[in-house]
Chains A and B, each alone.
Chain A
Amino acid sequence: MEIKNVPCPFCGSLCDDIIVNVENNEIKSVKNGCGISITKFMKHHVNAVKSPMLKKEGNLVDVSIDEAIDKAAEILKNANYPLIFGLSTTECEAQSKALELAELIGATIDQLPSVCHGPSIMALQSVGQTTATLGEIKNRADMVIFWGCNPIEAHPRFFNRYSGAAKGMWSDRSKRYIVTIDMRETSTAKKSDKFIKISHGKDYELISIIRAAIKGQGIPDNVEEITGVKKEDLENLTNRMKNAKYGVVFYGMGLTQSFGKELNTDNAISLVKDLNEWTKFSIIPMLGHYNVAGAVHVWGWQSGYPFSINFALQYPRYNPGEFSATQMLVRKECDAALIVATDPVAHFPNEAARHLAGIPVITIDPKFSLTALISEVVIPCATAGIEAEGTAYRMDGIPLRLKKVVNSEFPPDREILERIIERLKEKMKEQ
């Protein structure tokens, strides 16, 4: 059976034209997807957790799902300062249930931006953002700037489908001037009309010089010394920016995680705001995980905040840093953790992972991870977008309905979270 128009749940591009061929509940082939997509679809069952498990005498042993849920509820009930983390790669209803759970137990809840695109959102909170949906870029953009991002590798179809080479209503590759600004000549740079090599950590300086130049101040003669960029390249760039009919800046972790972090994004957004005095310009962060935007939205409309939210006072509080998962773990603050659809033991700094290994951890994940190995409770689930339906928000905020293409013997994240909530409420009453 051929299932068409499947949204791909693997990167922020959320390409929604994947064709998946399924026979006997098994994915046989995948069309239209990039390499990442095909591998992930085809191998979704590899390394899967086969049964709910509890740690007994140091070993993870198979148990019933009821027993696992009961234990999960028990751990969360007894915790004084629990952490809920992950959720950027599951669907919105699970994100919603996780927030409800956090509220119920007074937990801190956080998602991946606190380690990748948090600075983008914090910049939004200080200066706003002029942006557009990806279709608008394909239809209108005659100038595209990739700053500190390499979509050809991280979002393989992004360049052809939405941005660089996309053919739209009023623009296409021939009408588009493409610039890549990066520390090294990436594969995206090679496909661009111009590559501007910037010295390490000099983004803030370069943006500031461009902003001044656009407002009519001269470019300093020693600009190359400061930023590594030739003066004439900058003159050319600022000219083209002001004269573009519709420009866009895509940026990635090269900007958000290099020296300056949210100050860089702040400055980049301000540059784009300035440009709107002359022409039309937008800026879009290249979110990596496919549903970071989903949690930003769902938690945004339910609590007012996008990540790093704490419910200890029975109402939502927001403070990146204080309520960021990594820092909380490094400071050894939390005494239990629920991890959904991510692997912090593999990706967090050592000290954070070490604290996690010393506290009771519940992991909900279809696959084995390093985090699962250190967990007290492991609950396998149906993978959102492959084995379960749901909603996901593309990097530009467009919501799409994820499809279920094969069945799983396990319930989806949202249902597991819902059952933990119910069990917890029962336990709270029993007291």
Chain B
Amino acid sequence: MMIIKGGKVYDPINKIDGEIIDIYIENGKVVEEPMNERNNNEDIIIDAKGMIVMPGGVDIHAHIAGPKVTKARVMCPDDHRKDVVRKTKITRSGTGYTIPTTFVTGYRYAKLGYTFVAEAASPPIATRHTHEELNDIPLIDKTAYIVMGSNHFVLDNIKNNNFDGLKNYVGFLLNATKGYAIKIVNPGGVENWKWGKNVNSLDDPVINYGVTPREILQNLAKVRRELNLPHAIHVHCNNLGSPGNFKTTLETIDALKGEPIHITHIQFNSYAGDGWASFASAASEISNKINSCDNVTVDVGQVIFGPATTMTADGPWQHTVYKLSHQNKWANVDAEMETGAGIVPYVFKENNAVNAIQWAIGLEILLLIKDPFKVCLTTDHPNAGPFYYYPNVVEYLMSKKKRDEMLNKINAKAKEKTTLVDLDREYTLQEIATITRAATAKIMGLKNKGHLGIGADADIAIYKFDENNIANSFSSAKYVIKDGKIVVKDGEIVRNHIGRTYYVKVKGEANDEIKEAFANYYSVSFENYAVQDVYVPKKEIIECYKE
């Protein structure tokens, strides 16, 4: 048995807010306190006196594995040179910076006290690749969302009013790819981009199909409910990145008519203004809407100043970023029948008005949404910045003083075009624990993650918290326990461990129509499409239906 003694525990799901509680661990799970006084020399006792104890962090949205991530890695040797990681007796070597290699990704998440990360966008046809990489990410558990918002079968079934066909296809696809959730990126726009076009509103038709983003969202939300998936549809809205796009975001929420939706990196979809010159925050409008409804959760996509690598299935937006970024690298990939992707290196600059406003909007949203169970901390890694800057964001949230220092340093438009300067709220540790683990786990439907109740996975982070040095307190955990084993001690990796890959098992299988489309329009055989079991050597299957 392992016992974590004397720490201040923050476990929002179980409403434990800084109480001193001992935690007992056996076989990788949190267990009851034993009835009898224990006197066993084999027990591992962790003295957490003066420290804070939280469930392991859960990241609801990051790009850590799969074709676009590795294309970006290969495309950007310049990114790696400034951040090299030596091998040690225990750990493998690698490189950062914005797009760390797989091993380094696992190590850095673990050092932050994170133990579960969701890859936010896997193209179905290349999800075998995503799984290969996930297997090379040590220490943490992981999962992958499957991109569907411009998929041929989705568009075709909606066009033909065949809801049952759509539902069956989505089930088939999640099973075939061993994925976790329905990801929708710029619904319809990704297909139109294959002809060099986009959609600009919820009612713009998709070329050749005639269906609209509104119909795609509504139908997939209904499918997700009927398939009983643990996580809501995970949506990157239309018009991402464009001035004035908050209206599209609000319309998207309205279009769902109460069906659950998770809107990702909403900072990029909370803009007012009608051009770059009048670019401004619409964080209040967005936050008010979220405060007033129960079906919407979000993650923020907080901007971190410095280099980033933007990568998304939103190809048309990436083409715009390429032109805005005034630099030379742009990758685009059209993936047959399903989706696409774009990659552009980018630098968020403190003295750039738009970047400064974007930075402030992210914090506004985090501060204006009242219920911390509705909002998650992300940087849409590595789109708005690398994930290992989360501790800096935590510091801005917990300290008005720190964020005002930054606000005074950056382009003055950030004060003028947002309300950040007026916001006095400071997050408590309990609220931080919520937006980094409890809320994310709950929103993803991970029953054994994000809390420390009996039966929870023994994935635990212990920090030495110093309120005068908040960012440092969270950037390197004192201890991290994964599946009941100490993997990080004093900020160093002390043990090798391979986590599990989570995926759902749902109703739905290939019918003749699906197979025929494969024979005619795919470049791979149907028989070779589904991800074989060898690609998930350590797995956790979430059964979404009973036979």
Q: Which residue numbers of A lie inside 8 Å of B, CB to CB?
A: 4-5, 7, 16-17, 92, 96, 100, 103, 121, 124-136, 138-140, 161-162, 167-170, 245-246, 273, 276, 278-280, 282, 296-298, 300-306, 311, 313-318, 389, 391, 393, 397-401
Contacts and interface: CB of A to CB of B under 8 A. Distances in A.
Given A136-B335, A397-B129, A306 B523 contact: no
A395 B353 CA distance: 42
Nearest to B67: A397
B86 interface: yes
A124 B92 contact: no
29 contacts: A100-B92, A125-B75, A127-B330, A128-B331, A135-B521, A136-B334, A139-B521, A168-B521, A169-B521, A245-B195, A276-B332, A278-B196, A280-B194, A298-B132, A300-B70, A300-B71, A301-B73, A302-B94, A303-B93, A303-B101, A305-B95, A313-B84, A315-B84, A315-B86, A317-B84, A397-B129, A398-B126, A398-B524, A401-B128
Given A125-B77, A132-B333, A169-B520, 5 more contacts: A134-B523, A136-B336, A246-B195, A314-B86, A399-B128
B208 A124 contact: no
A199 to B, nearest CB: 29
Contacts of A131: 331-334
A199 B102 CA distance: 45
A298 B132 CA distance: 9
B350 interface: no
Given A140-B194, A279-B196, A301 B126 contact: no
Contacts of A126: 328-329
Interface centre among A129, A131, A133 (most CB of B within 10 A): A133
Nearest to B104: A304
Interface centre among A92, A103, A139 (most CB of B within 10 A): A139
A393 B125 CA distance: 12
B103 interface: yes
Contacts of B523: 133-135, 138, 161-162, 398
Contact of A315 (B70, B77, B93, B99): B93
Please provide the 5 A-B residue pairs with the shortest distance between their CB atoms, ordered closest to farther: A135-B336, A135-B523, A132-B334, A304-B95, A304-B80
Contact of A4 (B80, B133, B322, B527): B527
Contacts, number: 190
B67 A128 contact: no
B140 to A, nearest CB: 15
Interface string B395-411: 00000000000000000
Interface centre among A7, A298, A300, A316 (most CB of B within 10 A): A300
Contacts of B77: 125, 304-305, 318
A306 B80 CA distance: 13
A400 B522 CA distance: 13
Interface of B: 65, 67, 69-71, 73-80, 84-87, 92-95, 99, 101-103, 125-126, 128-129, 132-133, 136, 152, 193-196, 208, 319, 322, 328-337, 343-344, 520-525, 527-528, 532, 534
A5 B337 contact: no
Given A246-B195, A276-B332, A303-B94, A316 B528 contact: no
Contacts of B331: 124, 128-131
Interface centre among A17, A279, A280 (most CB of B within 10 A): A280
A393 to B, nearest CB: 7
B75 A399 contact: no
Given A126-B329, A133-B125, A315-B87, A121 B527 contact: no
A263 B481 CA distance: 50
Contacts of B125: 133, 135, 398
Contact of A401 (B87, B343, B528): B528
A301 B65 contact: yes
B328 A128 contact: yes
Given A132-B334, A398-B524, A399-B132, A280 B196 contact: yes
A127 B328 contact: yes
B101 A400 contact: no
B177 to A, nearest CB: 12
Contacts of B71: 300, 397
Contacts of B335: 132-133, 136
B198 to A, nearest CB: 12
A278 B195 CA distance: 10
A400 B528 contact: yes
A130 B95 contact: no
Given A124-B74, A128-B75, A305 B80 contact: yes
Given A128-B328, A133-B333, A400-B528, A391 B132 contact: yes
Given A127-B329, A131-B331, A401-B532, A302 B102 contact: yes
A139 B525 CA distance: 15
B47 to A, nearest CB: 34
Nearest to B125: A398
Contacts of B101: 301-304
Contact of B84 (A103, A129, A316, A398): A316
Contacts of A161: 523
A306 B76 CA distance: 11
Given A16-B524, A398-B524, A134 B80 contact: no
A138 B524 CA distance: 12
Contacts of A127: 328-330
B72 to A, nearest CB: 9
A302 B136 contact: yes
B540 to A, nearest CB: 22
A395 to B, nearest CB: 11
A282 B334 contact: yes
Contact of A130 (B332, B520, B522): B332
Nearest to B64: A301
A103 B86 CA distance: 10
Nearest to A272: B332
Contacts of A313: 84, 86
Contacts of A167: 520
Contact of A133 (B76, B86, B195, B334): B334
A245 B343 CA distance: 22
A310 to B, nearest CB: 11
Contacts of A314: 86-87, 93
Contacts of B329: 126-128
A273 B330 contact: yes
Contact of B73 (A273, A300, A397): A300
Interface centre among A127, A302, A311 (most CB of B within 10 A): A302
Interface centre among A246, A315, A391 (most CB of B within 10 A): A315
A404 B187 CA distance: 40
B95 A303 contact: yes
A89 to B, nearest CB: 19
Given A316-B93, A401-B128, A301 B86 contact: no
A389 B333 CA distance: 28
Nearest to A18: B525
Contacts of B532: 401
A132 to B, nearest CB: 4
A430 to B, nearest CB: 17
Interface centre among B194, B328, B521, B524 (most CB of A within 10 A): B524
Nearest to A281: B196
Nearest to B78: A125
B197 to A, nearest CB: 9
Interface centre among B70, B80, B319, B329 (most CB of A within 10 A): B70
B420 to A, nearest CB: 35
A178 B329 CA distance: 28
A273 B194 CA distance: 14
Nearest to A299: B74
A272 to B, nearest CB: 10
Contact of B525 (A16, A130, A162): A16
A315 B329 CA distance: 26
Contacts of B319: 276
Interface centre among B193, B208, B334 (most CB of A within 10 A): B334
B334 A399 contact: no
B330 A301 contact: no
Contacts of B69: 301
